[in-house]
Amino acid sequence: MILVTGGAGFIGANFVLDWLAQSDEAVINLDKLTYAGNRENLASLANDQRHVFVHGDIGDSELTRRLLAQYQPRAIINFAAESHVDRSIHGPEDFIQTNIVGTFHLLEAIRGYWSGLSEESGQRFRFLHVSTDEVYGSLSKEEPAFSETHRYEPNSPYSASKAASDHLVRAYHHTYGLPVLTTNCSNNYGPYHFPEKLIPLMIVNALAGKPLPVYGDGQQIRDWLYVKDHCSAIRRVLDAGSPGETYNVGGWNEKPNLDIVHTVCALLDELSPRADGRPYQQQITYVTDRPGHDRRYAIDARKIERELGWKPAETFATGIRKTVQWYLENQDWVGNVQSGAYREWVEKNYGERQP
């Protein structure tokens, strides 16, 4: 079996669902269930004995050691992380504790477990650490995309904490020989995406008749990857990646944020028109940009295609249509995640940004 950390969050839950749809290998799912961790993401697995959910923190070394001893996983995939830049600006301490200290405690528990395995099991074992392209910093329009050898230049508390966790993972490989793999991925989108992030926020606000807040001039460029393509990349890296290696995962879809918002609005005009017949674009509102907003991210995903034969199956056009349709068809899920805490966060983050 495998152990997945952070498997009730957006990417982690999609990974668990896809894994069990394609394999009979059991999953132990460890998640702290913070604001973005949601058991409802895993509702379809409620009676599936291949899925064992454990409510807990990767920083709890005693719990992690107990789980490793009890279940003896052949691999661990670490999705557990605080992951929203805006939240890291308002409250960086949680990001330091989870992404750095938590990763350290997880690595220590894994190192102890791995060192006690038989030679054969130890050679087969893998620890896959899921990271972000934001550790590389910001690019100008003219600069080449991030490769695996690009210098780390994180610019937010979030990206700095993820960079630190990447360095710890690397160090545990080079110092102790722990067989690690690291993936650095571009912006994901798709089902179960918590609606504080750009695409689900635009969908949810548009349907509610609320303003669609766009930071600054909206020309910040990101590379967008459909979440199920990311999941397939992780499975491929876990299966065939070389220990100690890093693989950048991207969708080859660089687009300015404003273009993303326009695309979402156009799809909603088609699939769920406003009652008054007016376009959703009328709800776009430009607000004060966030501090230190990176201008462009771009992933060079040639290494994973060249060495492991992986490339995304979805174009942005196909992926974003599937995403909008999912949100339209899952309004109960959307309503349930918009708790009082979520509303307070949205008001805190966007209420202070003047148009």
Q: Which of 113, 136, 158, 192 is catalytic?
A: 158
Question: Does the active-site annotation cover 158?
Answer: yes
Is position 344 annotated as part of the catalytic site?
no
Signed CA dihedral, 257, 262, 265, 270: sign only? negative
Report strand pairing: 75-78 vs 180-185.
unpaired
C-beta neighbour count of 229 within 10 angstroms:
21
Neighbours of 185 (CB within 10 A): 25
- R_g over Cα of the chain: 20
* Cβ atoms of 98 and 81 closer than 8 Å: yes
Could you confirm whether 347 is annotated as catalytic? no
Say if residue 322 is exposed, middle or buried (CB neighbours under 10 Å; 0-12, 13-18, 19+): middle
95: nearest Cα among 64, 135, 126, 40? 135
Catalytic hit among 31, 57, 134, 196:
134
Residue 230's contacts (CB-CB under 8 Å, 6 or more residues apart) are 11, 14, 185, 188, 249
Q: Are 250 and 133 a contacting pair, CB within 8 Å?
A: yes
Q: Which of 86, 133, 223, 300 is catalytic?
A: 133
Across the beta sheet with 187-189, the strand order is 187-189, 221-226, 254-256
The residues assigned a catalytic role are 133-134, 158
